[in-house]
Amino acid sequence: MQITFLGTSSGVPTRSRNVSSIALRLPQRAEIWLFDCGEGTQHQFLRSDLKVSQISRIFITHLHGDHIFGLTGLLASCGLAGNAKRIDIYGPSGLSEYLQACVRYSQTHFSYPVKVHTIEPGMIFEDEEYQVVCGYLKHRVTALGYRIIEKDKPGRFDIEKAQKLGIPPGPIYAQLKQGQTVTLPDGRTIRGTELCGVPQIGRKFVYCTDTVFCEGAVELAQDADVLVHEATFSHQDAEMAFQRLHSTSTMAAQVALAAGVKQLIMTHFSPRYAPGNTIILDDLLTEARAIFPNTNMAYDFLTHEIPRRS
């Protein structure tokens, strides 16, 4: 599981930061799951080593322009490239109507299946390897945060030990690999856990933006390996954050601390904190680390490998 930040500015792009988008790369599946799609996201793909042809799912947090204005263009380009497969899009009420209007008035036709899922809090996707859960945040419009859960995997199966025990290969091996207890034809009972190494604990990635501090974010982020949380404003501009229902750096850190996450990466920074101004982004990092030391700041094209727990 590898995340690449394709846009880390709030509201409008700057010379060095595009507006919101994060790619979650799943190399073993040759898939990319995209979170938000601000204007210019497809240009950011061109400047990265990511492939738009691998996008299989897109998760939209809310319908503000800096999170969705790049969606139609990206989908259209995927079709023109001729290598797109089905893309599933998840988001709040109104997303389907927005996309339909863009397609209708621009006379755009997708050459591949596009399915929009209007979602409510709870589990919105599950397969053999992953679950995706969403929950409400607190913003000026309906906004959703996302929690991606990699399922635990059984430890390495010791084939040599199984052979020494005289266990016949075949379907029994598959059961034992899953940690099941199996009774052999000769009456012996074998516990799969005795033939498997330590299970691999699944990783948890959480994405929360846009929102002011809220319990919904804390609940969603519980015990996450990596929490990506917006930090639009400095703590010194907290009044502005409350008015606009955005987070300060300290709010992001408070969510991380309350949720017991392993690492916090802040994003979605106001352009007001440009170099040379009274408050700069380094100040936001200092504020956050005073509360939650394991905090980093995202920048465009930062790639971060989500580590496995030992």
Q: Which residues make up each annotated binding site for Zn(2+)?
A: 62, 64, 66-67, 139, 210, 268
Between CA 148 and CA 303 the distance in angstroms is: 17
- Amino acid identity of 310? S
- Amino acid identity of 210? D
Residues 205, 225 contacting (CB under 8 angstroms): yes
The DSSP bridge partners found for residue 208 are 229
66: annotated active-site residue: yes
Between CA 139 and CA 272 the distance in angstroms is: 20
Q: Tokens 């994060």 map to which residue?
A: 22
Between CA 84 and CA 105 the distance in angstroms is: 22
Catalytic residue among 36, 49, 66, 300: 66
> Residue 210: is the preceding peptide bond cis (ω within 30°)?
yes
Which residues are catalytically annotated?
Answer: 66
